[in-house]
Amino acid sequence: MSETKPSVLFVCVHNAGRSQMGAAFLAHLGGDRVEVRSAGSAPAGTVNPAVVEAMREIGVDISAETPKILTTEAVQSSDVVITMGCGDACPVLPGKRYLDWKLNDPAGQDVAAVRTTRDEIERRVRGLLADLGVEVRA
């Protein structure tokens, strides 16, 4: 990992749900002690509205986020790459740490269904921060 602060990239297909929640939790809980990116192999036009609402319920506003295309450069500049169902579309580069988080896709789900995925992502992000030695913001 980098000498300054760890860098994490969250990747899913559309960058409209799981990876957006992962990045939002990492930024919210890790603050400026971690560098956060998210991207998708086939980005959607907008972030899933049910995901935006589920995050808003817990005080995390991602309404201004937009899905971004996954690039090799984003992978190269990240210490940890967390894949969330992007399959073979995620580039695998040597020297990077990869974690594959199998999570339900929030696409087509209502807010009630998204909450379960949201809560699981938060739990995993908290574990990741502990693993990276990054103190969770109060």
Calculate ∠ Cα 112-13-53, nearest 5°: 25
Calculate ∠ Cα 111-68-71, nearest 5°: 135
Q: Please list, in sequence order, all residues whose beta carbon lies within 8 angstroms of the beta carbon of residue 89, skipping any fewer than 6 positions away.
A: 13, 41, 42, 70
Among residues 86, 121, 125, 128, which one is catalytic?
Answer: 86
**Residue 12 is a catalytic residue:** yes
Among residues 24, 26, 74, 90, which one is catalytic?
Answer: 90
Round to whole Å and give the CA distance between 136 and 138: 6
Among residues 8, 9, 11, 12, which one is catalytic?
Answer: 12
**Residue 109 is a catalytic residue:** no
Find, among 34, 14, 43, the residue nearest to 24 by Cα: 34
Round to whole Å and give the CA distance between 102 and 120: 10
What residues are annotated to the active site?
Answer: 12, 86, 90
